[in-house]
Structure 1
Amino acid sequence: MANASRQAAWEFWGTELKRRREDAGLTQEALGHAVFVSGGYIGQFEQAIRKPQLDVATRIDEVLQTDGFFERTWRKLIDDQRYPDYFAATAELEPLATKICEFESMIVPGLLQTAAYAQALTLANNPFATDAHIEKTVHARLDRAIILKQATQPLYWAVLHEAVLRVPVGGPDVMAEQLAHITRLARERRILVQILPFTAGACTLMGRMLTLMEFEDAPPTSYTEAVYSGNLLDDPAVVKRLQQDYDLLRAAALSPEASRALIESAAEDYRQCVSTT
């Protein structure tokens, strides 16, 4: 759904390029020569097969005298994109969902992260990132979490492996704040969280993550993620199988009350570490 809307926007970009090129009386080859690409590339831009670089979009504006139209549109579609391509479609679907169920085996899900935790995680993933990149990433993640504060919030259910509580992302103070944030959301009944303890042993989806989303007027979807890649799936048979996997995780997890107690205990352990340093 979201991928289709983004592709439609690029098709509009290409249609406008073709229209304005023809209005200027230029062939694809002539425009390509003027902006230092081949005529075939211009044709692929017009068909939304390829996406131009920013400098090409800027030169197109100069040649066609379009007052920055193609550069501004390019920035809207690419440069201002807050999420990686493989996750953008999922991020666009979250506010539309009536129910979101997540499983994480190592880190706190994005919708539950605090600013400090998100910052530490971003820096760990990219130690050479600029401050601007880190700030942009953190803000985008916090913006996503707004859906948990709205009156029309989706029903949100998370199953977290106990490892999520024990990996000290950002250090004890960051973890204490992060875990307190999760328990606060649970106590306010904005989310439901269960912990899958180490004692549960091997489990389905071990070492992986999963997001399941349901909608009012669309079929359910699932999202899984690997290294710099993601899969947004809506095949009914696949989603049904993943829903069964999630049910098995919930059955093996601690009750919500016992889970909250374990999270609070872990948060206290981190606070004790802070106070003794």
Structure 2
Amino acid sequence: MARKNLDPSSSPRALLGAELRVARERAGMSQAELGERLFVSGSFIGQLEAGTRRMHLEFAKQIDEILSTGGFFARNCGALAKSKYPNHFAEAAEAEAETKTIREYAPLALPGMLQTKAYARAVFIAYQPTATEEVISELVQNRLDRADVLSDPTTPLFWCVLDESALRRVVGSRAVMAEVLRHIAALIRTRRIFVQVLPFSAGAHSSMGGTLKLMTFEDAPPLAYVQGNAIGVLLDDPATVARHSLTYDLLTAGALSPSESLALIESVAEDYEHDQHA
């Protein structure tokens, strides 16, 4: 039976994933069997079906051939191709909107979902010093939009480990730092997020290589996202995700308690405010 093109005004990834599940089951294949034909894991197929990962054109063409879907998936990949985020981060940002839990380690800069407008602006100007004001404003707004997932009072659970250097590095100005740290403290005090600070005194630790984000979902396998300078990798291999999960557990073990962390965040914010007045 011929399929109609998906409506791009709806959720393209979710709709395409649902169609993939129907087509796969009609062909009598398990997720692992389809994954084997595509040289990916069964969990990757599960994430495509749940809409937590984007289907790329090369996979869509192979799926059409394997499941005899008459080019349906290749035709509809266009609805997924556009993203307001950089290519290396697009899939991770889209997955955030579907998460049950997010656990993140931020070594140098405060997490994007916790940034204020002024802080985000200073970060993007540092990243792209020759960009126009229009470009910077769009980047800032896109980053602020990601924080919408925290508008729900309970879901997702957001747990972050901040390296002390992220608190101490002055981004923008001392006024900007005071504002963003007060913002984070307010989220903590309303019990919307959990934050621990990894102090300088912790010394060497399990994630000195860079940032780490772990995401779990209601009906799809977990993902890990690691990021460097203008590069990021979304990982779904169960053993790799488990290893990164252990890394995060070790970070929390070496960090200050939530109450001690809040006290430090508010103390550093107060210092920034005092420096302004001085």
Which interval holds the TM-score relative to the shorter structure?
Answer: 0.7 to 0.9
Superposition deviation, residue 151 in structure 1: 4.2
1:170 aligned to 2:172? yes
Tell me if the contact between 2:54 and 2:91 (Cα under 8 Å) persists in the aligned partners. no
Identify the residue that residue 147 of structure 1 maps to in structure 2.
149
Secondary structure of 1:4's aligned partner: coil
Equivalent of residue 163 in structure 2, options 156, 161, 164: 161
1:207-237 C-alpha deviation (Å, 9 max, x unpaired): 5100000011111100001121111001000
Secondary structure of 2:102's aligned partner: strand
CA separation of 1:7 and 1:143: change in aligned 2, threshold 3 A: farther
Of residues 103-112 and 198-207 in structure 1, the stretch that sits farther from structure 2 once superposed is 198-207
1:217-258 C-alpha deviation (Å, 9 max, x unpaired): 111100001121111001000000000010000000000000
1:271 aligned to 2:273? yes
When normalised by structure 2's length, the TM-score is: 0.73
Of residues 206-215 and 231-240 in structure 1, the stretch that sits farther from structure 2 once superposed is 206-215
1:88-108 C-alpha deviation (Å, 9 max, x unpaired): 001111111100000011100
Equivalent of residue 102 in structure 1, options 98, 101, 104: 104
Identify the residue that residue 222 of structure 2 maps to in structure 1.
220
Secondary structure of 2:97's aligned partner: helix
**Letter matched to residue 144 of structure 2:** L
Identify the residue that residue 186 of structure 2 maps to in structure 1.
184
**Letter matched to residue 114 of structure 1:** T
Q: Distance in 2 between the 1:4 and 1:143 partners?
A: 20
**Cα root mean square deviation, aligned:** 2.2
Aligned residues: 215
Identify the residue that residue 12 of structure 2 maps to in structure 1.
none
1:50-93 C-alpha deviation (Å, 9 max, x unpaired): x9xxxxxxxxxxxxxxxxxxxxx79x844xx3110110001111
Identity %: 47
**Letter matched to residue 243 of structure 1:** S
Superposition deviation, residue 4 in structure 1: 3.4
Identify the residue that residue 253 of structure 1 maps to in structure 2.
255
Equivalent of residue 89 in structure 1, options 88, 91, 98: 91
Superposition deviation, residue 187 in structure 1: 0.4
Superposition deviation, residue 121 in structure 1: 0.2
CA separation of 1:171 and 1:158: change in aligned 2, threshold 3 A: same
Structure with higher Rg: it is 1
Tell me if the contact between 2:154 and 2:192 (Cα under 8 Å) persists in the aligned partners. no
Q: Distance in 2 between the 1:10 and 1:140 partners?
A: 28
**Letter matched to residue 134 of structure 1:** I
Identify the residue that residue 111 of structure 1 maps to in structure 2.
113
Superposition deviation, residue 7 in structure 1: 3.6
Give 5+ residue unaligned stretches, structure 1.
12-46, 52-72
**Letter matched to residue 226 of structure 2:** T
Q: Distance in 1 between the 2:179 and 2:57 partners?
A: 40
Identify the residue that residue 207 of structure 2 maps to in structure 1.
205
Tell me if the contact between 1:105 and 1:207 (Cα under 8 Å) persists in the aligned partners. no
Give 5+ residue unaligned stretches, structure 2.
1-47, 62-73
Tell me if the contact between 1:149 and 1:190 (Cα under 8 Å) persists in the aligned partners. no
Secondary structure of 1:263's aligned partner: helix
1:230-249 matched pairs, under 5 angstroms: 230-249=232-251
CA separation of 1:128 and 1:216: change in aligned 2, threshold 3 A: same
Tell me if the contact between 1:123 and 1:134 (Cα under 8 Å) persists in the aligned partners. yes
CA separation of 1:105 and 1:143: change in aligned 2, threshold 3 A: same
Tell me if the contact between 2:153 and 2:192 (Cα under 8 Å) persists in the aligned partners. no
CA separation of 1:83 and 1:215: change in aligned 2, threshold 3 A: same
Secondary structure of 1:194's aligned partner: strand
When normalised by structure 1's length, the TM-score is: 0.73
